[in-house]
Amino acid sequence: MTSITGDAPEKSGAAFQNQLSWAIRLVWREKLIIAGIVLLAATATLAYLGKATRLYTAQAAVVIDAVEPSDSLTERESARYRLTEANIQTESEVISSTVLARRVIERLNLDQDPEFNLSLRQEPSALGQVIGYVHPRAWFPGWEAGEGNAGQDERLKQQMQETRIVRRFMSKLSVRSIRRSFVVTIQFTSENREKAARIANAVADLYVLERLEASLEQTRRTSAWLGERLQQLRGEVQAAEQAVEIFRAEEGLGRINERSMTVSDQQLTELNSRLILARTELAQKRARLSQVQALQRGRGVDTATDVLQSPLIQRLREQQVTLQRELSEAVKTYGDRHPRLIAIRADLQEFEIKMRQEVNKIATSLENEVVVAQTGVRTLEGELSGTRQRTDVARGAEVQLRQLQREAESSRLLYEAFLGRYKRDAEQERLQQSNARVVSPAEVPIGKSSPASMQIMMLALVVSFLGGVALVFLLDALDGKIRSSDEAEHVTALPTFAMIPRVSGKAPQDALLADPRSRFADGLRSLRNALLVGGRREDRQVVVITSSVPEEGKSVLSLSLARLLAQSGEKVLLIDADLHRPRQQTMTGAVSAAGLIEVLRGEQQLDQVIAKDPKTELMVLPAGNTRQVGEHVLNMPDVISRLRGEYDRIIIDAPPVLAIADTQLLAQAADAVLYVIRWGSVSRESVRNGVKILREAKAPLIGAAITLVNTRRHLRYGYADYGAQYERYRAYYTK
């Protein structure tokens, strides 16, 4: 298993090497044809380059800054970063549009240039004349002014002419965007280098101008629309604000100022504050009254706060203290019934009565204050209740008021936004810039861009060489002749025993005898050795030699091989079995009145018809009277069987396989079949079909021999087989 798998790659590699070697030899063999084709193509290319119109290409570069021409001043700086590859591609299409092309043509008067207006050319070129004869209108629009267009409308013809000029202009214009950048290149090709630069710059300048005009026009349209919209918004704002004020007045929702509360809210707040203060004051007065009343019922009324704070009571107390001091001193001096003491005690009682009266007045005053405070609190509570009711009603109206205010505010904000945009666009219109600029104007090209002489010449040489190689392979495939042992083995799947060179002269069958050291003799010896070495004698005793078609050197090879075997000491019999075209008797000169046909018919015995070759020890069985050929060839196996015991080797010159059907019967009766192929004559299909017929007849095919080899041509073909050595080492084969 290992050997099988290991041999497969080796066989595949060997097959590839053989194919490659064959291809190289074929190309080398037909090198003159290939060289002729290459030379012819080079000559034609040089002639074309000599007469071809030289074209020059100029290039300008434009950078795209923004896409939207209506960007405001605040947005213009960031517009660059919003560009995408699709935007750049769109601008490229704008540059290559027919609208811009028409503007350039009009600006530079290119419609009067014969390069673009073909009708202004004096006469077409030679090639153009040939094409014009076939279809003149398709190639030379100026010729349409003939009879066929006499009835056409002049305006329509003018439009068609302008369209042709624009198309020719567009065919010379190339716009390409550079990846990962905002740069667009503009290339224009012309027959004049200065014109190419001028047109490329004109395209770039008009594109920049067109973008600026488009931007200005867009700004003007936007400003006009904003102006109209501002008038509408101004009226809406005024109406909304007026509606707010009218509703506020109707509902009594007036304000002191814009940031204050409504009147009802302010009144409610003030009443709440006053009520709180009144209730606090009432509580304080009630507390003072309660304190005074409590002190009146008990002792220490003079310690009350209101009493202590009374100036009259304070003076009375001072006087009381003074009298009490005098009373103390008088008691020490006078007796109890002293008038002085009685008078002091009377004054003290009077002071007590006055103080009590004063305290009662204070208490009465506090009660009155409490009553007044209670009345004020009740009054404030009533007012607060009424105000609260009015406020609740007003708040229901405020909901609707706030809705009106929101609408007015929205209208006002929208108006302010439009007003700001209107002012910015007004400023922008004065500061308008194009969203594109020329960064690299086109310069006059130094060298031509077309035709690319070196590239065209190299391409022509390569294409012509490949075409010549393809033609060689095509001719070889159409030829289909076999010229080497490798080709023979590939077609027949048989080993090639020998390549027999062609012999010049009138008697090629005698070449072996005339020159035993010739190339022809050496080829025969190679064939003889293959027969002798390839197997036992009894396995190859009867050898049939046949070919595909007549005139392949089969008969000469049979006679020469038989003579060579006879010279080797074997007893050899040569049978001329080609009954339709026998040649052995003529070539050998063996005299016999009858032959194989008479033996097959039973009219003669073998020993009566077999003759000796006059020049060698070879025995020959001629064909006999070929006019009496019939179906007796079926007896050929019996004849061969009788001859086997009498001869060491029997060589049968059989008819061609594709011409006569007898060969199949002869091959079945033989031990070996040698297939003869004429060099450079018979087609591969003929050989393949002949071998196929023999294989289907179970013929014992052992190999093939190539005859009539033209050694000089064979050497020129470059084959590496031994047939090439005859010419290369011809000194070995001299007399």
The range of the structural domain enclosing residue 467 comes to 25-52+451-479
Tokens of 78: 């960031």
Q: What's the pLDDT tens digit per position in 153-182?
A: 788 888 898 999 999 999 999 999 888 888
Judge whether 386 lies within some domain: yes
Q: Which of 25, 241, 3, 62 is nearest to 718 (CA)?
A: 25
Sequence letter at residue 88? I
> 72: alpha, beta or left, given left = phi > 0 and alpha = psi -120 to 50?
beta
65-74, 176-185, 217-226, range with the lowest pLDDT: 65-74
According to the model, what pLDDT value does residue 627 have?
72
Give the DSSP letter of residue 568: T
Residues 518 and 640 in one domain: yes
- Are the C-beta atoms of residues 722 and 705 closer than 8 Å to each other? no
Tokens of 585: 């008797």
Residues 363 and 272 in one domain: yes
Across the range 77-86, mean pLDDT stands at: 60
Tokens of 666: 């002869």
Instruction: Give Cβ neighbours of residue 199 (< 8 Å, ≥ 6 apart).
Output: 58, 104, 108, 110, 188, 190
Strand 701-709 to 611-612 pairing: unpaired
According to the model, what pLDDT value does residue 143 have?
46
Judge whether 199 lies within some domain: no
121-135, 136-150, 547-561, 614-628, range with the lowest pLDDT: 136-150
| Chain centroid, CA 714 distance in Å | 52
Sequence letter at residue 68? E
> 708: alpha, beta or left, given left = phi > 0 and alpha = psi -120 to 50?
left
Q: Which residue has the higher pLDDT, 328 or 57?
A: 57
According to the model, what pLDDT value does residue 481 have?
85
Q: What's the pLDDT tens digit per position in 488-514?
A: 998 999 999 999 888 887 778 888 888
According to the model, what pLDDT value does residue 735 have?
57
- Asked whether the predicted pLDDT for residue 69 surpasses 50, the reply is no
Residues 557 and 627 in one domain: yes
Q: Which residue has the higher pLDDT, 363 or 704?
A: 704
3-state secondary structure of 256: coil
CATH number at residue 557: 3.40.50.300
Across the range 579-606, mean pLDDT stands at: 83
- Are the C-beta atoms of residues 72 and 79 closer than 8 Å to each other? no
CB-CB neighbours of 181 under 10 Å: 12
Tokens of 233: 């918004």
d(CA 452, CA 330): 155
- Are the C-beta atoms of residues 60 and 442 closer than 8 Å to each other? yes
According to the model, what pLDDT value does residue 463 have?
95
According to the model, what pLDDT value does residue 726 have?
66
Across the range 10-14, mean pLDDT stands at: 70
15-29, 108-122, 496-510, range with the lowest pLDDT: 15-29
- Are the C-beta atoms of residues 96 and 187 closer than 8 Å to each other? no
Sequence letter at residue 207? Y
Across the range 718-723, mean pLDDT stands at: 65
* Residue that is last in its domain, among 348, 376, 405: 405
Residues 690 and 595 in one domain: yes
Tokens of 686: 């003929």
347-351, 391-395, 569-573, range with the lowest pLDDT: 391-395
Residues 467 and 523 in one domain: no
Q: Which of 700, 640, 645, 697 is nearest to 675 (CA)?
A: 700
Residues 350 and 390 in one domain: yes
d(CA 566, CA 713): 32
- Are the C-beta atoms of residues 590 and 613 closer than 8 Å to each other? yes
Q: Which residue has the higher pLDDT, 93 or 321?
A: 93
According to the model, what pLDDT value does residue 121 have?
74
d(CA 165, CA 171): 10
- Asked whether the predicted pLDDT for residue 550 surpasses 70, the reply is yes
According to the model, what pLDDT value does residue 703 have?
92
Residue 408: enclosing H or E segment and its boundaries? Answer: helix 339-430
Judge whether 74 lies within some domain: no
Give the DSSP letter of residue 683: B
Judge whether 681 lies within some domain: yes
| Chain centroid, CA 330 distance in Å | 138
- Are the C-beta atoms of residues 735 and 515 closer than 8 Å to each other? yes
According to the model, what pLDDT value does residue 374 have?
80
- Are the C-beta atoms of residues 371 and 289 closer than 8 Å to each other? no
Residues 582 and 470 in one domain: no
Residues 491 and 526 in one domain: yes
Q: What's the pLDDT tens digit per position in 524-548?
A: 898 998 888 866 666 789 999 999 9
Give the model's confidence band at 72: pLDDT under 50 very low, under 70 low, under 90 confident, else very high: very low
According to the model, what pLDDT value does residue 728 have?
63
According to the model, what pLDDT value does residue 79 have?
44
- Asked whether the predicted pLDDT for residue 4 surpasses 60, the reply is no
Residues 541 and 618 in one domain: yes
- Asked whether the predicted pLDDT for residue 688 surpasses 50, the reply is yes
* Residue that is last in its domain, among 405, 439, 469: 405
Give the DSSP letter of residue 342: H
Give the model's confidence band at 556: pLDDT under 50 very low, under 70 low, under 90 confident, else very high: very high
- Asked whether the predicted pLDDT for residue 451 surpasses 50, the reply is yes
Judge whether 70 lies within some domain: no
Tokens of 628: 């009496």
Q: Which residue has the higher pLDDT, 409 or 135?
A: 409
38-52, 200-214, 225-239, 475-489, range with the lowest pLDDT: 225-239
According to the model, what pLDDT value does residue 547 have?
94
Across the range 464-479, mean pLDDT stands at: 87
Distances (CA, A) of 656 to 127, 167, 322, 488, 495: 56, 70, 186, 17, 20
Residues 594 and 718 in one domain: yes
- Asked whether the predicted pLDDT for residue 137 surpasses 60, the reply is no
Q: Over the chain, what is the mean pLDDT?
A: 78
Judge whether 77 lies within some domain: no
d(CA 13, CA 18): 9
3-state secondary structure of 229: helix
Give the DSSP letter of residue 719: -
247-251, 439-443, 598-602, range with the lowest pLDDT: 247-251
Largest CA distance in the chain: 228
Residues 401 and 529 in one domain: no
d(CA 293, CA 478): 151
Give the model's confidence band at 413: pLDDT under 50 very low, under 70 low, under 90 confident, else very high: confident
According to the model, what pLDDT value does residue 17 have?
79
According to the model, what pLDDT value does residue 2 have?
41
Q: What's the pLDDT tens digit per position in 321-353?
A: 777 777 777 777 776 677 777 777 777 777 777
- Asked whether the predicted pLDDT for residue 104 surpasses 50, the reply is yes
In SS3 terms, 572-634 reads as EEEEECCCCCCCHHHHHCCCCCCCHHHHHCCCCCHHHHCEECCCCCCEEECCCCHHHCCHHHH
- Asked whether the predicted pLDDT for residue 148 surpasses 50, the reply is no
According to the model, what pLDDT value does residue 124 have?
58
Residues 530 and 469 in one domain: no
According to the model, what pLDDT value does residue 628 have?
64
Tokens of 560: 């020469």
Give the model's confidence band at 462: pLDDT under 50 very low, under 70 low, under 90 confident, else very high: very high
- Asked whether the predicted pLDDT for residue 457 surpasses 50, the reply is yes
- How many domains does the structure of the chain reveal? 3
According to the model, what pLDDT value does residue 618 have?
92
d(CA 416, CA 414): 5
Give the model's confidence band at 286: pLDDT under 50 very low, under 70 low, under 90 confident, else very high: confident
Judge whether 684 lies within some domain: yes
Q: Which residue has the higher pLDDT, 368 or 652?
A: 652
3-state secondary structure of 189: strand
According to the model, what pLDDT value does residue 657 have?
92
Judge whether 57 lies within some domain: no
* Residue that is last in its domain, among 378, 405, 432: 405
Sequence letter at residue 317? R
Give the model's confidence band at 3: pLDDT under 50 very low, under 70 low, under 90 confident, else very high: very low
> 60: alpha, beta or left, given left = phi > 0 and alpha = psi -120 to 50?
beta
d(CA 619, CA 642): 15
- Are the C-beta atoms of residues 241 and 408 closer than 8 Å to each other? yes
The sign of the dihedral angle between the CA atoms of 95, 100, 106, 110 is positive
Q: Which residue has the higher pLDDT, 565 or 290?
A: 565
**pLDDT above 70 as % of the chain:** 76
β-pair partners for 333: none
According to the model, what pLDDT value does residue 288 have?
72
Tokens of 472: 């060689």
- Are the C-beta atoms of residues 306 and 362 closer than 8 Å to each other? yes
According to the model, what pLDDT value does residue 357 have?
73
According to the model, what pLDDT value does residue 565 have?
92
Give the model's confidence band at 595: pLDDT under 50 very low, under 70 low, under 90 confident, else very high: confident
Across the range 285-295, mean pLDDT stands at: 72
